[in-house]
């Protein structure tokens, strides 16, 4: 029986984490569909920034991902479950630092609904907007250069601003979760996340299963610096091994 398009495309991305490049003919044979179907899948995934098309196949993209507005359309149910589970891990926190991203905006929306009388430092305009729904939450926006695709401030000013604060928990998303740590497609955001981790007593990463085993340019921390991972599927392979070795508490939503 032929698998649904979403599962087929997920398999293509998963295979690209094991092999840098794939051929259309090989994918068609492996997934039992026509080469035209595979070409349409590759065109869609290329449009989302998840891979790069080549003549007769595709290679994985290590430097790009969809804009934050496009990412909001991907895995919304999974992100919502992750957000709810993440907020349960924030009990007792009074000061948070929240990074940019689609899953962190979902998490911030749950924070606004379930927490009160806290302070949040963020560089994400989306995060700040949903937190504003709760008047008991004080939001401090980081200064810096505005990155339109991410809807966030980045750069030296953002990093320097964080040096004057401490937080109970840093809540961060990721473009990829590799065996050596979480990483981001945007080097500028990775620098902000690293600064947040340095100023927080604990770090919680929120990321859906599509990020498992993906690697992007900005590895912003080793797993030894991460206390919690909230995701929607059990990681496997080397990623799972490193999470155990580094005592990262994994919560499945």
Helix (H, G, I), strand (E, B) or coil at 212: strand
CATH fold group of domain 5-60: Arc Repressor Mutant, subunit A (1.10.10)
- Largest CA-CA distance found in the chain, in angstroms, rounded: 58
Q: What is the pTM of this model?
A: 0.75
- pLDDT (0 to 100) of residue 200: 98
What are residue 74's phi and psi, to 5 degrees?
-95, 130
Between CA 178 and CA 95 the distance in angstroms is: 28
Q: Reduced to 3 DSSP states, what percent helix, strand and coil does the chain have, rounded to the nearest 5?
A: 40, 25, 35
CATH class of the domain at 69-252 = alpha beta
| Spans of all domains in the chain | 5-60, 69-252
| Residues in contact with 93: Cβ distance below 8 Å, sequence separation at least 6, in sequence order | 115, 118, 168, 169
- pLDDT (0 to 100) of residue 65: 57
Same fold, 5-60 and 69-252: no
Strand partners for 120: 96, 139
Listed in order, strand segments (DSSP E) in the chain are: 21-23, 51-54, 57-60, 95-98, 119-122, 138-141, 145-147, 152-154, 167-172, 176-178, 181-184, 200-206, 218-219, 228-231, 249-252
- pLDDT (tens, 9 = 90+) of the chain, 253 residues, equals 456 788 888 888 877 766 656 889 989 998 989 999 999 999 888 887 777 777 777 766 655 555 555 555 566 788 999 999 999 999 999 999 999 999 999 999 999 999 999 999 999 999 999 999 999 999 999 999 999 989 999 999 999 999 999 999 999 999 989 999 999 989 999 999 999 999 999 999 999 988 888 888 899 999 999 999 999 999 999 999 999 999 999 999 9
Residues comprising the chain, all counted: 253
Q: How far is CA 140 from CA 119, 158, 175, 209, in A?
A: 8, 11, 24, 30
What are residue 153's phi and psi, to 5 degrees?
-90, 145
- pLDDT (0 to 100) of residue 156: 97
123-164 pLDDT, tens digit per residue, is 999 999 999 999 999 999 999 999 998 999 999 999 999 999
- pLDDT (0 to 100) of residue 214: 83
Between CA 15 and CA 20 the distance in angstroms is: 9
- pLDDT (0 to 100) of residue 66: 55
What's the distance, Cα to Cα, between the start and end of the chain in Å? 29
Instruction: Name the region of 105 (left: φ>0; alpha: ψ -120 to 50; beta: rest).
Output: alpha
């Amino acid at each position: 029986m032929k698998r649904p398009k979403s599962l087929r495309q997920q398999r293509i991305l998963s295979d690209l984490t094991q092999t840098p490049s794939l051929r259309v003919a090989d994918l068609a044979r492996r997934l039992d569909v026509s080469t035209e179907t595979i070409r349409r899948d590759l065109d869609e995934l290329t449009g989302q920034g998840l891979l790069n098309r080549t003549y007769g196949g595709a290679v994985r993209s290590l430097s790009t991902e969809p804009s934050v507005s496009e990412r909001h359309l991907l895995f919304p149910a999974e992100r919502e479950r992750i957000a709810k589970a993440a907020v349960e891990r924030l009990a007792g926190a009074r000061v948070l630092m929240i990074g940019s991203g689609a899953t962190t905006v979902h998490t911030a929306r749950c924070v606004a609904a379930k927490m009160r009388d806290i302070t949040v430092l963020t560089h994400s305009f989306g995060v700040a907007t949903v937190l504003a729904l709760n008047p008991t939450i004080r939001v401090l926006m980081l200064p810096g250069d505005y990155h339109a695709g991410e809807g966030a401030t980045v750069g030296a000013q953002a990093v320097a601003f964080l040096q004057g604060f401490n937080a109970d928990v840093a809540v961060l998303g990721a473009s990829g979760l590799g065996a050596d740590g979480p990483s981001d497609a945007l080097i500028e955001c990775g620098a902000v996340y690293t600064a947040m981790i340095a100023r927080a007593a604990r770090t919680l990463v929120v990321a859906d299963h599509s990020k498992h085993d993906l690697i992007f340019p900005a590895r912003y921390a080793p797993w030894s610096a991460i206390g919690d991972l909230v995701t929607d599927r059990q990681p496997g392979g080397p990623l799972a091994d490193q999470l155990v070795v580094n005592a990262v508490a994994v919560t499945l939503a």
